[in-house]
A and B are shown apart, each in its own frame.
Chain A
């Protein structure tokens, strides 16, 4: 059931979190990440202010076989192409653009739910601890692009595990399926 209320039009604390994360990407010197987070921050202001009328989610989101086929296709693509290839960049960019289009198209409102439940701080606390650990390890690096082996960031630990094509394929497939669940939930409307 779509829920329409005035508070859903305010960016809220999520905007501050995205802007802070964007500032970290400025320190990392990664232009693409800075642009993506900047674009997201702009969308977080523009979308609620100029939102579309609520619409039912597209039917293909309710067809698991379609999404499973897309996950397998992406997994094979990621396994076969070099990790630095433009093909993977285009594929991931296309998936993101498609997910964004579905989310914007869903229009005003939100998925059914009671709002932030009690003791959300438990989850927020664990995530915040993780962010602080990651940030602390990042700050021990000699520079933004050089890992510190004594205090590795999560990326420095995970990156070698994803050098193989097939481990990367499994992660890519799982990532797309998680994204399907996220977008399917975000696009829930009653209209």
Chain B
């Protein structure tokens, strides 16, 4: 397995981990909070609200434009 394959595997593993955590949160809310609950927690401060808005917008800007 090349180092490129390992890198891709690591990204895929992290994506899978996010899905697993969300599934666990849906099935056992007492164990871990779901993504939407955590995001609402981040929004408790106005700075957190601006930061969340920034991340969403920047992802679109970064991936939809080239260069």
C-alpha gap A150/B7 in the complex (Å)? 8
Residue pair A123, B38 in contact (C-beta under 8 Å): yes
C-alpha gap A44/B45 in the complex (Å)? 9
Q: Which residue of A lies closest to B21 (CB)?
A: A122
Residues 1-46 of A at the B interface (beta carbon under 8 Å): 3, 7-12, 14-15, 17-18, 32-33, 36-37, 40, 43-45
Residue pair A111, B43 in contact (C-beta under 8 Å): yes
Tell me the smallest distance from the CB of B22 to a CB of chain A, in Å.
9
* Residues of chain B contacted by A137 (CB below 8 angstroms): 7
* Residues of chain B contacted by A120 (CB below 8 angstroms): 33, 38, 41
Q: Which residue of A lies closest to B35 (CB)?
A: A123
Interface string of B44-67 (1 = CB under 8 A from A): 111111111110111111111111
Residue pair A151, B47 in contact (C-beta under 8 Å): no
